[in-house]
Amino acid sequence: MAPSARSPLSYPAFRVLWLAGIVTFLGSFVQNVGEAWLMMDLTKSPLPVAMLATSFVGCSLFMMLPAGVLADRRDRRSVAMVSQIVQAAAALSMAALSYTHHITPAALVIGVGVLGIGMALGAPAWAALVPELVPLDLVAEAVALNSVAFNIARAIGPAIGGIVLARFGATSAFLINAATFGAVMIALSMHRGDSPTPARGSMRPIASTFSAPWQQVTGPGELRPTFVAMFGFSFGAGMFYALTPAFGKDTLGATPLAYGVMIGAMGGGAVLGASIMKRLRERMPPRVLVTATMATFALFVVIVSRVSSLPTAMVLLVPAGVGWLGSFSSLQALVQIWAPAAQRARVVALYQMAHLATWALASALGGLLADHFGIRFAMLFGGLLCAAAAASTWRMGLPPSFLGSAAAVRATD
């Protein structure tokens, strides 16, 4: 994707961090394939596999809001750097346990939880950096490009993970993930545009610092409907995503490589969707666009839950990926655009915390439903929840634009 004069990629600081993000996301997906497959080998049950997602997002949940406070009170680049170190250490520890044959289901769950803590530590700082790296009118596109980076990795990372798993085993998948965090450390060390740290006298008490973003979200402003829309969609999407390893391996009989390609198909669809989202955002108000993308994802998830052919599932996951990208990137862009600049990291942290809490509950519920009623039923249920979220979003409404005058004023508060 070549940068244009009006692209976030034309700004060097954003471009370097974006490329580094692709590298570390690739490592994460390589490890995801290895850890999920290893857990299936150790336990022979879809529930412990779903619990990997629950561990990751559950541990992230408790770190996210404190990390947002930290990112609003300290240099965001340094906070992001520490988060990469924590994640690299966790991946290396899991590699050592796997290599020495001391890895257990509990060790996998704990290791993934530490990765979640490290991710949460840096996520608000990373997101809050975006409006400092590009002009305000390019924030929505920059958020979408960050989603593209994630989904480029999701398109090819699982396939790479399948190859690594088949040829070298799970230990190599963990080592590759640990190495990729170095790319972000290098990129962050090159970025010298440190975020301004509040003056000593402007530091508010901790209690007030934590309560401010809650007031923004629960008040009558533009952020509340965005959060509500995210809750509904994340619950259904989280159930579906947590069950895809068991669905691919047990239901469709996928090999490690085929499973990686299947997951990659959804990421490929998300990359395809990103290429049209900019034009759609210019033509559609947020309510119409987000409702449409949620409904698209829901429709194809429901269909995928009924198929028995692996190639058919791969094809259907492409449009599902379009709906996934359109929904999540649009909602996150609205939060980053409409949140007051002085509270942006905390509001983003609260958004991510709420998203992760929903994801953790959805993963656990999906695993329980799969154990009691079957994987297909649980995936179907997740798709129907996404359809309900689309209908709710249409009735409820969202902020009026991806860049309105009100948003510009709020961003300078």
What is d(CA 412, CA 113) in angstroms, rounded to the nearest whole number?
Answer: 36
For residue 361, which amino acid is it?
Answer: L
Cα 189–194–198 angle (5° rounding)?
145
Give me the pLDDT at residue 192, please.
60
In this prediction, residues 354-365 reach a mean pLDDT of: 83
Q: What burial class does residue 347 get, using C-beta atoms within 10 Å of its C-beta: 0-12 exposed, 13-18 middle, 19+ buried?
A: buried
User: 38, 104 in Cβ contact below 8 A?
Assistant: no
- Give the pLDDT score at 326: 87
Instruction: Look at residues 381, 355, 387 and name the one whose alpha carbon lies nearest to residue 366.
Output: 381
Structure tokens at 104: 């257990």
Task: Give the right CATH number for 11-191+208-410 from 1.10.357.10, 1.20.1250.20, 1.20.120.1750, 3.40.50.720.
Answer: 1.20.1250.20
Type of residue at 225: P
32-36, 212-216, 367-371 — which is least confidently predicted? 212-216
pLDDT digits (tens, 9 = 90+) for 243-297: 887 888 888 888 877 877 887 788 788 778 877 887 888 788 889 999 999 999 9
Label residue 97 by pLDDT band (50, 70, 90). Answer: very high
User: DSSP state, 305?
Assistant: T
Arithmetic mean of pLDDT, 356-379: 87
Beta-carbon count within 10 A of 407 CB: 22
- Please check the confidence at residue 399 and state whether its pLDDT lies above 80: yes
Q: Where are the domains of the chain?
A: 11-191+208-410
As a whole number of angstroms, the distance between CA 243 and CA 140 comes to: 30
Mention every residue, 6+ apart, whose C-beta is less than 8 A from residue 220: none
Q: Which two tokens stand for residue 85?
A: 């170190």
* Residue 196, helix vs strand vs coil: coil
**327 contacts 293 by C-beta, under 8 angstroms:** yes
The pLDDT of residue 194 is 46
Amino acid at 8: P
| Region 332-346 average pLDDT | 78
Whether the per-residue pLDDT at 39 is higher than 70: the answer is yes
Res. 380 pLDDT band, cuts 50 70 90? very high
Count of beta carbons in the 10 Å neighbourhood of residue 69:
18
pLDDT at 78 over 60: yes
Q: 113-141 pLDDT, tens per residue?
A: 999 999 988 888 887 777 778 887 777 77
Nearest to 281 by CA among 334, 341, 348, 347: 334
